[in-house]
């Protein structure tokens, strides 16, 4: 079970999607801690889905079976991606979280900034039809047929989430290292490019459910 969870976590970590670009964008924009804040929001969302799958599978299945659920979930997730992407397109130059200018900022302002990044990761992962149907698919294809008990479930989910934590942390660190080689102009170009990609992901998601 542990090995299965690790392999599933690795498979998810190598997927190219809006979550990956959100972590990279935050890491390049504000540094390692900002990228980690986005990843933290994603992890918290995943933990909530794990709890929902384990204790509320019937409720989740009933919700996804509602008329037009996929359409409304896709539209909500797509609009969220477009909103974040547009925000990136018009973003101003910012100091990194490990920049002396940012360190001199008021603690409350820094904490608010980190919370905003955390919330961004949480919303991107939660309001995402792929995430919902992924967890339902995991329950239907692996958990229910296997008849696993608490120990097996802990090993499986622990392996998967632990792998995601490690790989997402490495992504945030890589983004910080990339920033060291970028001028402020290059950084702004990367941020806007990621914004365009997020808008594209959002539009494709909405087009698929309509």
> Which tens digit of pLDDT belongs to each residue from 93-107?
555 444 555 445 555
pLDDT score at 116: 92
- Read off the pLDDT of each residue in 109-121 and give the average, rounded to a whole number: 82
Joined tokens for residue 86: 């547009």
Query: What does the pLDDT look like over 23-72, one tens digit per residue?
Result: 998 998 888 999 999 999 999 999 998 888 777 766 766 777 778 877 88
CB 24 within 8 A of CB 175: yes
Q: Could you tell me which residues come within 8 angstroms of residue 49 by beta carbon, excluding any fewer than 6 positions away?
A: 131, 132, 135
pLDDT score at 104: 52
Q: Name which residue leads in pLDDT, 57 or 117.
A: 117
pLDDT score at 4: 84
DSSP string, 75-106: HHHHHHHHHHHHHHHTPPP---TTSHHHHTS-
Q: Please report where in the chains the tokens 């709890």 appear, as a residue.
A: 51
């Amino acid at each position: 079970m542990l090995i299965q969870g690790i392999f599933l976590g690795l498979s998810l970590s190598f997927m190219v999607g809006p979550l990956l670009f959100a972590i990279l964008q935050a890491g390049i924009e504000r540094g390692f801690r900002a990228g980690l804040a986005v990843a933290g929001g994603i992890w918290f969302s995943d933990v909530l889905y794990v709890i929902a799958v384990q204790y509320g599978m019937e409720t989740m299945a009933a919700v996804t079976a509602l008329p037009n659920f996929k359409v409304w979930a896709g539209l909500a997730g797509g609009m969220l991606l477009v909103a974040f992407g547009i925000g990136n397109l018009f973003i101003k130059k910012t100091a990194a979280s490990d920049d002396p200018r940012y360190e001199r900022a008021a603690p409350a302002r820094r904490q608010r900034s980190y919370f905003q990044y955390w919330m961004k990761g949480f919303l991107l992962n939660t309001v995402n039809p792929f995430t919902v149907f992924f967890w339902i698919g995991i329950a239907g294809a692996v958990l229910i047929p296997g008849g696993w008990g608490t120990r097996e479930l802990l090993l499986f989910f622990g392996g998967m989430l632990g792998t995601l934590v490690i790989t997402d942390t490495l992504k945030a660190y890589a983004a910080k290292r990339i920033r060291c080689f970028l001028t402020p102009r290059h950084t702004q170009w990367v941020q806007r490019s990621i914004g365009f990609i997020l808008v594209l992901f959002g539009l494709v998601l909405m087009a698929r459910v309509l």
